[in-house]
Structure formats: structure tokens, C-alpha cells
Amino acid sequence: MEEAAEGRRQVVSVVSALAAAAQRLAAVSDTPRLDAELLMAHALGTTREALLLGPRDIAPPDAFAGLVARRLAYEPIAYIVGRRDFWTIELDVGPDVLIPRPDSETLIEAAIDHFGARSPARILDLGTGSGALLLAALAHWPTATGRGVDASAGALAVARANAVRLGLADRAAIEPGDWSAGAAEDWDLILCNPPYVAAGNALPPEVARHEPASALYAGPDGLDDYRALVPQLRLADGGVACIEIGFTQAAAVSELCKASGLQSTVRQDLAGNDRCIVATPQQ
């Protein structure tokens, strides 16, 4: 009888801990129950799927309360658990890099549509951060090679570690550099998610307090980095540059492309917002 009662207390303890955490996290998250489950799974050293499908007669680990406290301080889930899914790969992430978002997958979709059955031979990822765009592209095109460039030493360390863990280090050169890093060569595919937030624009607390400002803000109108990088894009015949934009910036960045001898179209993300400039050499 005592053993059965203890088992019930443990089951209730896990369930109630999740419920209580979700209730508290509603103040800082639009997905409080999901956040609670991800944090519990991380504290247990397992996956969310295993947590939901596995036995529930376990007590919540002591670490769970600390993880919830970090989330209540608006720290993003991806930083707390140290990883984020992007396209077909899983990336290690931390405060030195932006968290890869589904919006940025629009660039990969645009590139795949451009090349069709072909594969780009050489790929350049400017401002590579975690390596998300470059490594997702290399995973999709197994014969391609690429270079990821970033000015942040911390970001370079994250990207290199991701390349090694994903088995792509032999095809991905991760190097320090600025927007001019690829200007001396022609590339089949250029990917870039530059800073594009106007200085002074309000951002959600979990972004403003935790993600690197150098990867977010780009001058008074959010266009400073486009002005620097677009004139230096060099594309091979049949090549394409896929550049992420803020949803109000399509016209301005398209004009910069035109002035640099590139023709461009605009691609929307899943929410229907302008998200990617698809630029090719003018015919």
C-alpha cells in the first residue's frame, strides 16, 4: 500500500509540476505548455516525445525549477536547451548567435526552386551565425561545398562545431570576414540573413535581452548592411543570391539590387510576409 501511494505521489508530482510551470510561463510565452514540456524533457535528459510517451511515474528533477526560472526571465527556450531544429538539421545554439527561425527557411526554399534538379557547386553564407543556412544547404546538396563567413569569433566557434557534429566540416569552410568576403569570386549560391532591424525599434524581450544586438540592428532605417553587402555580391552564370529581409524592406532592397546590376523578385514566408529577395544577374 505504501509503495503504491508513493508511486501515485510521483506521478502527480510530474504532472502537477508541468501544469504549474505552464501556468507561470503563460506570462512570458505564447506556448507555455510546450515550453514546460521542453524544459522538463531537457532536465530529464530525454526528448519531449519520450517524455510524453514514456512512463510518468518519475519525480521531476531538481534542475527543472531553475530552467523555468530562466524562461521566466525571457531567456529563449533554444538557448536554455542549447539546440534548435532548422530545415532538416538540428543546430547547437547559444547567445553568440541568432536563433534560427522558420522564416529563414524561405531562403532555402527559394534556392531549391531556383536550381531545380541542378546543384550549386559553391555556396557562400554571409553572416553565417550558427551556420544554419550554409549547413542546411550542404545537407540538401551533398556534392556542394561552401564558405560561411562571420565577423563574430563566438559565432564562428558555434558554426564550426555544428559543421563537425553534422559531418559537414570537410565541405564547409567557416572563416572570419565581413560583407566583402566573397567579392573576389563568383558564387553559384549566396545566402545571407543580415541585421535588418532599425535602431530604436522595439523587439520582444526574449530577443532584445538575449540575442546578439550586432546581428539584429542595422542603422536608422535597418538598411545599412544591405547597402554594404549588395554591391559586393558576385554570382556565377546561373547563380542566385537569396537574402532575408524585414517584411517592409522589399522595395528598398530591390532598388539596391537593381543599382548593382542584379534583377530581383520577392518571396513570401509561410505567413505571407515578404521575407526573401531572390537576386540574379541581369540578362
Tell me the pLDDT band of 217, cut-offs 50, 70 and 90: very high
How many domains, in total, are found in the chain?
2
Does a structural domain hold residue 78? no
Same-domain pairing of 55 and 186? no
> Which residues, in sequence order, are bridge partners of residue 145?
122
Q: Which domain holds residue 171?
A: 83-281
Does a structural domain hold residue 17? yes
**Residues 274, 119, 254: CA angle, nearest 5 degrees:** 25
Same-domain pairing of 231 and 139? yes
CATH number at residue 163: 3.40.50.150
Same-domain pairing of 13 and 98? no
CB neighbours of residue 11 within 10 Å? 15
Question: What order do you get walking across the sheet with 262-268 strand by strand?
Answer: 172-176, 145-150, 122-126, 187-192, 235-244, 274-281, 262-268
Does a structural domain hold residue 254? yes
Same-domain pairing of 178 and 67? no
Instruction: Indicate the pTM of the whole model.
Output: 0.93
Domain-ending residue, one of 40, 73, 106: 73
Same-domain pairing of 64 and 190? no
Domain-ending residue, one of 31, 53, 73: 73
Tell me the pLDDT band of 246, cut-offs 50, 70 and 90: very high
Same-domain pairing of 162 and 190? yes
What are the pLDDT digits (tens) for 87-102? 999 999 999 999 999 9
Same-domain pairing of 20 and 95? no
Does a structural domain hold residue 41? yes
**Cα Rg of the chain (Å, integer):** 22
What are the pLDDT digits (tens) for 25-82? 999 999 999 999 999 999 999 999 999 987 777 889 999 999 999 999 999 999 999 9
